[in-house]
Amino acid sequence: MRNLIAAAFCLATTPAFALNVCVEGAYPPFSETSADGSLVGFDIDMANALCEQVGETCTLVKVDWDGIIPALLEKKCDAIVASMSSTEERKQVIDFTAKYYQVPNEFVGRADSGIDPAAPGGLDGKVVGAQRGTIHQAYVEKHYPGVQLTLYGSQDEAILDLTSGRIDLIVGDAIQLEEGFVNTPAGEGYARVGEQFFDPEIHGEGAAVGVRKGDTELRDKLSAAILALRESGKYDEIQKKYFKIDIYGS
Partner 1 sequence: MRVDLVLENWRLFAAGTWMTLQLTFLALLIGFVIALPSGIARSRKTPFWSQLVNAYVYLFRGTPLLVQTFLIYYGLSQFEWVRDSWAWTFLRSPWWCALIAFALNSGSYATEIIRGAIETTPRGEIEAANALGLSKRQVDFLVLIPSAMRRALPQYGNEVVFMLHGSAIASVITLQDILGAGRTLNARYYLAYEGFLTAAALYMVLTFVLVFLFRQLEGHYLKHLRPRSA
Measured in whole angstroms, the distance separating CA 8 from the mean position of its chain's CA atoms is 33
For partner 1, the binding residue among 18, 48, 67, 248 (CB under 8 A) is 67
Which residues from 129-158 bind partner 1, rule CB under 8 A?
132-133, 150-153, 157
Choose the binding region for partner 1 from 20-28, 37-45, 164-172, 226-234 (rule: CB under 8 A).
164-172
User: CA-CA distance, 87 to 64, in Å (whole number)?
Assistant: 19
User: CA-CA distance, 30 to 46, in Å (whole number)?
Assistant: 9
- Mapped onto helix, strand or coil, the DSSP state of residue 199 is coil
Asked if residue 93 binds partner 1 (CB under 8 A), the reply is yes
For partner 1, the binding residue among 120, 121, 125, 165 (CB under 8 A) is 165
User: CA-CA distance, 57 to 17, in Å (whole number)?
Assistant: 7
Strands 39-40 and 31-33: antiparallel
Tell the smallest beta-carbon distance from residue 76 to partner 1 (Å). Answer: 10
User: CA-CA distance, 136 to 147, in Å (whole number)?
Assistant: 13
- Mapped onto helix, strand or coil, the DSSP state of residue 212 is strand
For partner 1, the binding residue among 90, 136, 203, 212 (CB under 8 A) is 90
For partner 1, the binding residue among 161, 183, 198, 243 (CB under 8 A) is 161
Binding site for partner 1 (CB under 8 A): 66-67, 69-71, 73-74, 90, 93-94, 132-133, 150-153, 157, 160-161, 164-166
